[in-house]
Amino acid sequence: MNAFSDGCLDETITSIKIQYMKDMNPHPLSQEDFKEIIAVPAVREAWGLTDDEGLDEFIAQAYAVKFDFSSGGPGYVGDLYILQGDALTGYPPMVLRRADDGTLLVS
């Protein structure tokens, strides 16, 4: 007997659960989100922020959104930040996500 003759082709499989992102909308960043993002050395370097520059300078130069990301398969689930400078230079937007320990990483 093979799989085609045992009747399994006309059975409905209900044990497979496919999950999709429930909220695909971008969300504005809070002050705390911005503070955490500008603490990432790669972000400070990309925006040319000096030690005496901080939150206000970054906010004036960057478009930023946050997604409650959920991978369509095995993979990342959590905060996903997309940052774009105030000029389109040909460089792609910067993407940040959380590491296993909760810190932000540039993807």
Q: What is the pLDDT of residues 45-63, one digit of tens each?
A: 999 998 888 899 999 999 9
pLDDT reported for residue 9: 62
Residues 78-96, buried b or exposed e (16+ Cβ, 10 A)? ebbbbbeeeeeeeeeebeb
Mean pLDDT confidence for 67-74: 80
Whether 10 maps to a domain, the answer reads no
Number of domains in the chain: 1
Q: What is the extent of the structural domain holding 55? A: 20-106
pLDDT at 98: 93
Residue 52 placed within a domain = yes
Tokens describing residue 58: 């970054």
Please give the Cα distance from 85 to 64 (Å, whole number): 9
Q: Look at residue 18 and tell me whether its pLDDT is greater than 80.
A: no
Residues 6+ apart with CB under 8 A from 57: 47, 49
- Whether 9 maps to a domain, the answer reads no
pLDDT at residue 19, as a whole number: 58
| pTM for this predicted structure | 0.75
pLDDT > 70: percent of the chain: 79
* 2 assigned to some structural domain: no
Count of other CB atoms within 10 angstroms of residue 32:
8
